[in-house]
Homo-oligomer: A and B are copies of this chain.
């Protein structure tokens, strides 16, 4: 197992399915959002984190940690969200470099409408295809593939 450089057939197959299925499901849910004239999934991810963070908001670098988006990606995504009035940027007192991002009422409303569609996609695409037990098994296996391999 140590220092192995050539993957087993089982590893190759699992990898291929992981890549293929995740891309397919992502596209499907993106399409569902588009069909409802809603913004893309990336917007949801950010709005979700900001909604959970509450009135205190989050710093952009915290969003980067949570969403795993690249720095420049967050920077421009936040610019678009701000232009749409879904978030607001607040100067932060104790660090002149930074800012705090807070979700607006309109942002919460957009997130709510996105979830109606996105949640349905999840329910249809995975919830209706695997039992909760199987889903837990899947989560556990995927959890062991995270990098760095975290605890929860």
For chain A, give the interface size range. 35 or more
Q: Check if B138 sits within 8 Å of A138, measured CB to CB.
A: yes
Q: Check if A141 sits within 8 Å of B130, measured CB to CB.
A: yes
Count this chain's copies in the assembly.
2
User: Which residues in B have their C-beta under 8 angstroms from that of A56?
Assistant: none
Could you jot down 16 A-B contacts, CB within 8 Å?
A5-B119, A6-B120, A8-B127, A12-B122, A14-B138, A17-B138, A18-B18, A18-B21, A18-B126, A19-B25, A20-B146, A28-B147, A130-B144, A134-B144, A138-B138, A138-B141
- A-B interface, 6 closest residue pairs, ranked by CB to CB distance from nearest: A22-B22, A11-B127, A10-B135, A7-B123, A17-B142, A7-B122
